[in-house]
Amino acid sequence: MIDFDKQGTFKLRPVELQKVQGTVLPILLNGEQIIGSFQSIRDMIVFTDRRIIAINVQGLTGKKKDFTSMPYKKVQVFSVETAGTFDLDSELELWFSGVGKLKFEFTAGTDITVLCRVISSYIL
């Protein structure tokens, strides 16, 4: 489970859709589309056209997984920081109603403008 109290930062790199599709497909709604998928060391974050799904891989074998679903309709405010000349990472901060802030940090070269447009379309 994501710990909103600690406002954890996740260093994420893009990962191919095929790598996460088998894991997340059983919990997707009919017609729900994956917009982007990212991975830290073991954990994954999947952005769909309706929500963010955090997949916490647990245990030694990684067969046990915790899924946290965060619908865009609960986002009150979000902030995007694009990459610069010396700081190549980009960041996305989201404030969820009744839960708190969550910060995602993406590796160099990740284009998060698509995510920004999707989130905007649901909260504005």
Provide, rounded to the nearest whole percent, the portion of the chain with pLDDT above 90: 42
Examine residue 48 and state whether it is found in any structural domain, yes or no. Answer: yes
Examine residue 99 and state whether it is found in any structural domain, yes or no. Answer: yes
Q: Are β-strands 9-14 and 100-106 bridged in parallel, bridged antiparallel, or unpaired?
A: parallel
Examine residue 4 and state whether it is found in any structural domain, yes or no. Answer: no
Examine residue 1 and state whether it is found in any structural domain, yes or no. Answer: no
Q: Quick: pLDDT tens for 64-120.
A: 889 999 999 999 999 998 877 666 788 899 999 988 888 899 988 888 888 889 899
Domain of 38, CATH number, reads 2.30.29.50
Cα separation of 116 and 105, whole Å?
A: 14
Examine residue 93 and state whether it is found in any structural domain, yes or no. Answer: yes
As a whole number, mean pLDDT of residues 5-22 equals 78
As a whole number of angstroms, the longest Cα–Cα distance in the chain is 42
Cα separation of 84 and 31, whole Å?
A: 36
Examine residue 45 and state whether it is found in any structural domain, yes or no. Answer: yes
Examine residue 2 and state whether it is found in any structural domain, yes or no. Answer: no
The residues near 63 (Cβ < 8 Å, ≥ 6 apart) are none
Q: Which residue has the higher pLDDT, 86 or 29?
A: 29
Examine residue 3 and state whether it is found in any structural domain, yes or no. Answer: no
Mean pLDDT of the chain: 86
As a whole number, mean pLDDT of residues 12-16 equals 91
* Count of structural domains, the chain: 1
Domain that holds residue 14: 9-123
Q: What is the pLDDT of residue 99?
A: 85
